[in-house]
Structure 1
């Protein structure tokens, strides 16, 4: 699935706004998700190849915002039930395991 230019702009903004609501740094998020800051940056900028990773990050942010008792910024393109999307691996998303991808020194 591909997002339109407007959907990409909106999704990047929605990710960034929800991240800001958590008051967590990218380093803290990366540590909690057992990945690198570079990977989180790629997801925030929609440069990550795995579509599952974006949904895992989305779910993580929504959970963290809810834990703070704050109102979440709704996602427009990353909406609906990911279990219904054939192109996503719902089991991986449910497990919250960010794809390791191709690892190189300092690129996890």
Structure 2
């Protein structure tokens, strides 16, 4: 998925807002996602090696929020089921790991 500059900016804001709403730390998210805090921060900034990584983080945050009885703030580009996007590796997303 190729994003424009504005779409990238909005997606970073949306991920950050849901990360803050979930109340998790970088360390907790890293442990849960089998990676490092630096990698989680990189994904929050959309500095990724695999285009699936923002989707993995989105799903993680959505699960954290649901467990707290909260509704995720809407995403402008990370919408719907990743399986609807032919270019995404849904097996990788389903693993729920950022490694």
Note whether the superposition's TM-score is higher than 0.5: yes
Structure 2: state its 5+ residue gaps.
none
1:53 to partner: Cα distance: 1.1
Rg: which structure is higher?
Answer: 1
1:84 to partner: Cα distance: 1.8
Structure 1: state its 5+ residue gaps.
101-108
* TM norm structure 2: 0.94
Query: 1:67 — aligned with what?
Result: 67
Query: 1:96 — aligned with what?
Result: 96
Aligned residues: 99
Q: Measure the CA separation in 2 of the matches of 1:41 and 1:11.
A: 14
Which aligned runs of 4 or more in structure 1 are off by greater than 3 angstroms?
none
What's the Cα RMSD here?
Answer: 1.0
* TM norm structure 1: 0.86
